[in-house]
């Protein structure tokens, strides 16, 4: 193990202990595994001012040199893969295999993003005038990350922000700050001081950031409810915003699918990371012709899945990440029981320390019930029956959320046509959750504002500037 248990913030290139500390809990044991600094407002001010001091130099650094630094950061992550994997499981709960996938994904995101270019558009090149529109950095970005994929979600912000020439202050979730802090330690040896600052703290720190006048942009990933507060708080100083928010992703399963073949894929599309995935299948609409066989295959498969501490190599699903989320999902299970809907499997407590809940599958609950209408973000899935396309399209689209969706069918062309009728930022056919740094994704409706990934995502960390040069004096 290369990582020690000394967790410090990164401010202006220096590792900083802070004055107060907050506890970090392993959700599989409820035992405190580490403490991190609890930043005060003066720590935030120092981080912002370090980012401001670093900005002119970083913005003037060539894009090729900035890309080289991102590649070095990626290599530092992969060189410490095992340490990151174990630490991520301890703080987040996910099994080692999933933790490894996330850490690899984080490194990949940094590296692959370097294929992106900031476009320059020549508007006019005539005898009289030259005019071009280019993209210049915004300045200081405040980044706020969630606890479900702490490393990956942080890299989705760091890569485009730094590539476009901005400097950053990043705040991980208080539930999962450890890997991000260790990444900061590695970054302190690679990046010029102040280009990336990482601060940790409790519930006040996010709101202090969103209203801080030193930020030019806030890039936020988290729940829709918090997204609304972020937007309100950014308004007085007109900060730019990217909001990647919650989802209630539908899957539409058409009657021509091979039920036995896809049941396992569908199960994991809903339950990977214990359902704590923004793009997890959260409502599964199954055609009536295959409803019973698919329902039975999902339930049968769920009984083979091993739930436990993510550090145990046999574990396939770990605990929920935190008490708050555990209580919320239990509350939803209680609500399902109150509607009288049939719980096909799960629905009970697991008597052991840690925030463990069983895989819970609900049989065709009412469309207006909470488990269908709200984002559950946990291991509980409603199966919903439909028998005609117009009906299912209407039900799928009647949501304030519009993050992702998926359609499953042997008729790819037909499914592709249907995909165009779904109001979601991404619609997949015969898969879910496939993301790449080279294409954009984001939420429609209340699932977000703006996108991450692709040139479109990169442009959100820049502002367009048009330069016009009159060649002949008037």
Half-sphere exposure at residue 399, Cβ-oriented, CA atoms within 13 angstroms: 31
Closest residue by Cα to residue 85 from 112, 61, 103 = 103
Radius of gyration, CA atoms only, the chain: 23
Cα separation, 272 vs 381, in Å, equals: 12
Closest residue by Cα to residue 425 from 449, 407, 459, 409 = 449
386 sits near ligand NAD (criterion: CB under 6 A)? no
- Indicate if 132 belongs to the active site: no
**Contact with ligand NAD (CB under 6 A): which of 74, 163, 278, 362?**
278
What string marks each residue from 403 to 432 as x (binds ligand NAD by CB under 6 A) or -? x-----------------------------
Closest residue by Cα to residue 361 from 414, 284, 420 = 284
Q: Which is nearer to ligand NAD, 223 or 439 (CB)?
A: 223
* DSSP three-state, residue 406: strand
**Contact with ligand NAD (CB under 6 A): which of 144, 151, 186, 241?**
144
Sheet holding 217-221, edge to edge: 14-16, 9-11, 196-198, 167-171, 140-144, 217-221, 240-244, 448-449
**Contact with ligand NAD (CB under 6 A): which of 356, 377, 428, 461?**
377
Half-sphere exposure at residue 339, Cβ-oriented, CA atoms within 13 angstroms: 20
245 sits near ligand NAD (criterion: CB under 6 A)? yes
**Contact with ligand NAD (CB under 6 A): which of 207, 258, 431, 464?**
207
Write out 129-187 in H/E/C secondary structure: EEEEEEEEECCEEEEECCCCCHHHHHHHHHHHHHHCCCEEEEECCCCCCHHHHHHHHHH
206 sits near ligand NAD (criterion: CB under 6 A)? yes
- Indicate if 179 belongs to the active site: no
What string marks each residue from 150 to 169 as x (binds ligand NAD by CB under 6 A) or -? ---x----------------
> Stretches 22-30, 124-132, 142-150, 310-318: which one binds ligand NAD (CB under 6 A)?
142-150
Catalytic option among 91, 179, 278, 460: 278
9 sits near ligand NAD (criterion: CB under 6 A)? no
Catalytic option among 185, 244, 452, 460: 244
C-alpha distances (whole Å) from 411 to each of 121, 266, 417 are 40, 17, 10
Report whether 196 contacts 50 (CB < 8 A): no
**Contact with ligand NAD (CB under 6 A): which of 165, 222, 310, 450?**
222
Q: Which is nearer to ligand NAD, 197 or 226 (CB)?
A: 226
440 sits near ligand NAD (criterion: CB under 6 A)? no
Enumerate the β-bridge partners of residue 313.
Answer: none
Cα separation, 244 vs 451, in Å, equals: 7
| Least Å from the CB of residue 242 to ligand NAD | 10
C-alpha distances (whole Å) from 364 to each of 47, 256, 369 are 50, 20, 10
Q: Which is nearer to ligand NAD, 346 or 453 (CB)?
A: 453
Q: Which is nearer to ligand NAD, 49 or 229 (CB)?
A: 229
Q: Which is nearer to ligand NAD, 409 or 426 (CB)?
A: 426
| Least Å from the CB of residue 288 to ligand NAD | 30
443 sits near ligand NAD (criterion: CB under 6 A)? yes
Q: Which is nearer to ligand NAD, 92 or 100 (CB)?
A: 92
Q: What is the DSSP letter of 317?
A: B
230 sits near ligand NAD (criterion: CB under 6 A)? yes
Q: What's the distance, CA 177 to chain centroid?
A: 15
Report the residue closest to ligand NAD, judged by CB: 206
Site residues, ligand NAD (CB under 6 A): 144-148, 153, 171, 173-174, 206-207, 210, 221-223, 226, 229-230, 244-247, 278, 375, 377, 403, 443, 448
Residues with a catalytic annotation lie at 244, 278
């Amino acid at each position: 193990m290369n990582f020690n248990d000394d967790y410090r913030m990164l401010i202006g290139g220096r590792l900083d202990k802070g004055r107060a500390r907050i506890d970090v809990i392993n959700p599989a044991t409820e035992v405190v595994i580490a403490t991190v600094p609890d930043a005060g407002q003066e720590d935030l001010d120092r981080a912002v001012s370090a980012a401001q001091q670093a900005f002119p130099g970083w913005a003037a650094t060539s894009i090729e040199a900035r890309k080289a630094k991102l590649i070095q950061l990626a290599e530092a992550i992969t060189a410490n893969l095992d340490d990151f994997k174990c630490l991520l499981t301890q703080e987040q709960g996910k099994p080692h295999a999933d933790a490894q996938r996330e850490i690899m994904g984080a490194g990949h995101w940094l590296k692959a993003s370097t294929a992106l270019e900031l476009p320059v558009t020549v508007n006019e090149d005539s005898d009289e005038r030259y005019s071009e529109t280019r993209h210049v950095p915004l300045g200081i970005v405040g980044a706020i990350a969630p606890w479900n994929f702490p490393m990956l979600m942080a890299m989705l912000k760091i890569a485009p922000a730094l590539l476009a020439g901005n400097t950053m202050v990043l705040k991980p979730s208080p539930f999962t700050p450890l890997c991000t802090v260790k990444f900061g330690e590695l970054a302190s040896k690679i990046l010029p001081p102040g280009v990336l600052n990482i601060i940790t703290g409790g519930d006040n720190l996010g709101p202090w950031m969103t209203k801080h006048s030193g930020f030019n942009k806030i890039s936020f990933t988290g729940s829709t409810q918090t997204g609304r507060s972020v937007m309100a708080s950014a308004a007085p100083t007109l900060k730019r915003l990217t909001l990647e928010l919650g989802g209630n992703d539908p899957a539409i399963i058409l009657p021509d699918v091979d039920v036995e073949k896809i049941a396992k894929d569908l199960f994991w599309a809903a339950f990977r990371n214990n359902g704590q995935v923004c793009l997890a299948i959260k409502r599964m609409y199954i055609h009536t012709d295959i409803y019973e066989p698919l329902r039975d295959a999902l339930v049968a498969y769920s009984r083979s899945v091993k739930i436990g501490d993510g550090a145990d190599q046999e574990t396939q699903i770990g605990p929920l990440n935190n008490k708050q989320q555990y209580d919320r999902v239990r509350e939803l299970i209680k609500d399902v029981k109150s509607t009288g809907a049939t719980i096909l499997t799960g629905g009970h407590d697991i008597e052991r320390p840690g925030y463990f809940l069983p895989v819970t599958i609900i049989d065709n609950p009412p469309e207006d019930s909470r488990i269908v209408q709200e984002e559950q973000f946990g291991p509980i899935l409603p199966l919903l029956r439909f028998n005609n396309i117009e009906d299912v399209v209407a039900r799928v689209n009647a949501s304030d959320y519009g993050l992702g969706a998926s359609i499953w069918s042997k008729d790819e062309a037909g499914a592709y046509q249907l995909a165009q009728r779904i109001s979601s930022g991404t619609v997949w056919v015969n898969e879910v959750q496939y993301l790449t740094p080279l294409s954009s994704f984001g939420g429609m409706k209340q699932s977000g504002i703006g996108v991450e990934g692709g040139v479109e995502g990169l442009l959100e960390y820049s502002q367009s500037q048009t330069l016009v040069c009159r060649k002949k004096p008037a």
